[in-house]
Structure 1
Amino acid sequence: EYSAPLRFQLADFAPRDNFVWVDRCYKMAQLWAPELALSTDWCVSQGQLGGQQIVQHVDKTTWKGKTAFKDTVIDMARYKGNVDTLKIVDNDIRYKADSFIFNVAGAPEEVKQFSGISRPESWGRWSNAQLGDEVKIEYKHPLPK
């Protein structure tokens, strides 16, 4: 049975609902830790969608952390922005890089759209005949000749 990605489920949380999210860093970093946006390491995020969020990089085999939910001011504009970003489908995610990084979701900022490529796996992606007859990558601007 298919289950929606965690970020889609998190998008259904109310502004003040507390959450703890353990996942690959790139899945949460586009929201709250841009410096980890291309990392396939583990991260822990906690907070409230309408309040403060914290992302911690799991940098040890045995990692210990504590949850701490503070009473923060709820910002509805922040909440809406977080929910909108959480609902972006993988193929519409863009990151800063000079080439495709096939083991994270999305594509470099220079890519307008792409199709025929599978979801990310730890080792990369593959062309997927169920998604299209070919892999197609359309850039925002023509490639240099």
Structure 2
Amino acid sequence: MTKMIYILNGPNLNLLGKRQPEIYGSDTLADVEAQCQSVARECGLDCALFQSNHEGQIIDTIHEAREKAAGIIINPAAYTHTSVAILDALNTFEGPVIEVHISQVHKREAFRHHSYVSLRADAVMAGFGIGGYSLAMRHMGALLG
């Protein structure tokens, strides 16, 4: 049986490929999912991708992951900088957590330099475009070895 990895995406990532392509690129969330599925298979993992614009739904999915997933890859988007509630939910999860950001957040506005999620994350990928998800999946495979 393969280990399940939950890939959680926060607000506005449903518009990936359409919203600010100069920052986030032209790839879509469907492209992210296809890439993650491919890399997960290479690593002997399985994955399920979730996206929500609602903080409570992200928290509920983290709670679900406690029973169904071996690891979480999360791009909390704008909630990165604001959500103690998502941090608290991640702190209830016992497996590895990897934080992903498509853009290099430290080259952007000062408010984006702080991440609550990083306080729980075992690794952070930022600035690799959607390739950061593949890096995160490969690292997850190594962590769960």
Q: Which category describes the TM-score, using the shorter chain as reference length?
A: under 0.3
Normalized against structure 2, the TM-score is what?
A: 0.27
Of Structure 1 and Structure 2, the greater helix share is in 2
CA radius of gyration, larger in: 1
Q: Which has the higher contact order (CA 8 A, sep 6+)?
A: 2
